[in-house]
């Protein structure tokens, strides 16, 4: 028996999906989702000319564990501090202070692409499902 292919997640053009936030931040695990081309060192780099894939980054990763491959935004701030596009160390600091419960089990990052229809049909639903499996209480979205 062959499994049916996953159907795409339909995203409305007319409204922003909204889920009420019913916890306090101090009870909440936070996931990062980024389009800044960030990845775990040792993982496959993003293809700078265009890449529709995404990478999973462990929740306990630190900025020193990360790299980026994107030539489509200025990098001076990222070279100085990865946290400006992927604030993973700030998440850990907020958890240590008790402001949030901690980092989610995983974070997610994708690279640059101009194939918007393709990422809408494939990559974005894949990331949405991956985030749903991790079950964070809140998600911070960052761009490059």
Q: What is the mean pLDDT of residues 51-69?
A: 95
Contacts made by residues 119-126, CB under 8 angstroms, sequence distance 24+ = 119/52, 120/11, 121/8, 122/8, 122/52, 123/52, 123/53, 123/54, 124/9, 124/11, 125/6, 125/8, 125/9, 126/54
Considering only residues 33 and 77, tell me which one the structure prediction assigns the higher pLDDT.
Answer: 33
**Greatest pairwise CA separation for the chain in angstroms:** 52
The pLDDT score that the predictor gives to residue 67 is 92
State how far the Cα of 116 lies from the Cα of 16, in Å rounded to an integer: 18
The pLDDT score that the predictor gives to residue 78 is 81
Q: What is the pLDDT of residues 1-16, one digit of tens each?
A: 555 566 555 655 566 6
The pLDDT score that the predictor gives to residue 48 is 82
The pLDDT score that the predictor gives to residue 94 is 98
How crowded is the C-beta side of 3, counted as CA atoms within 13 Å?
3
Q: What is the pLDDT of residues 15-53, one digit of tens each?
A: 666 778 889 999 999 999 999 899 999 999 998 888 899
The pLDDT score that the predictor gives to residue 74 is 72
Write down the pTM of the prediction.
0.85
- Closest CA relative to residue 124, chosen from 13, 21, 35, 58: 35
Confidence check: pLDDT of 85 > 80:
yes
Q: What is the pLDDT of residues 100-131, one digit of tens each?
A: 999 999 999 998 888 888 888 899 999 999 99
The pLDDT score that the predictor gives to residue 113 is 84
State how far the Cα of 68 lies from the Cα of 78, in Å rounded to an integer: 9
């Amino acid at each position: 028996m062959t499994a049916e292919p996953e159907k795409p997640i339909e995203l409305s053009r007319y409204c922003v999906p909204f889920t009420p936030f019913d916890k306090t931040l101090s009870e909440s695990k936070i996931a990062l989702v980024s389009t800044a081309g960030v990845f775990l060192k040792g993982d496959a780099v993003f293809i700078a000319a265009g890449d529709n894939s995404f990478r999973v980054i462990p929740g306990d990763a630190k900025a020193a564990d990360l790299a980026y491959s994107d030539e489509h935004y200025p990098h001076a701030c990222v070279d100085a501090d990865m946290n400006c596009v992927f604030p993973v160390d700030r998440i850990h600091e907020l958890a240590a202070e008790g402001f949030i419960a901690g980092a989610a089990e995983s974070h997610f990052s994708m690279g640059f692409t101009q194939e918007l229809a393709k990422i809408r049909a494939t990559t974005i639903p894949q990331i949405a499902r991956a985030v749903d499996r991790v079950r964070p209480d809140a998600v911070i979205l960052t761009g490059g």
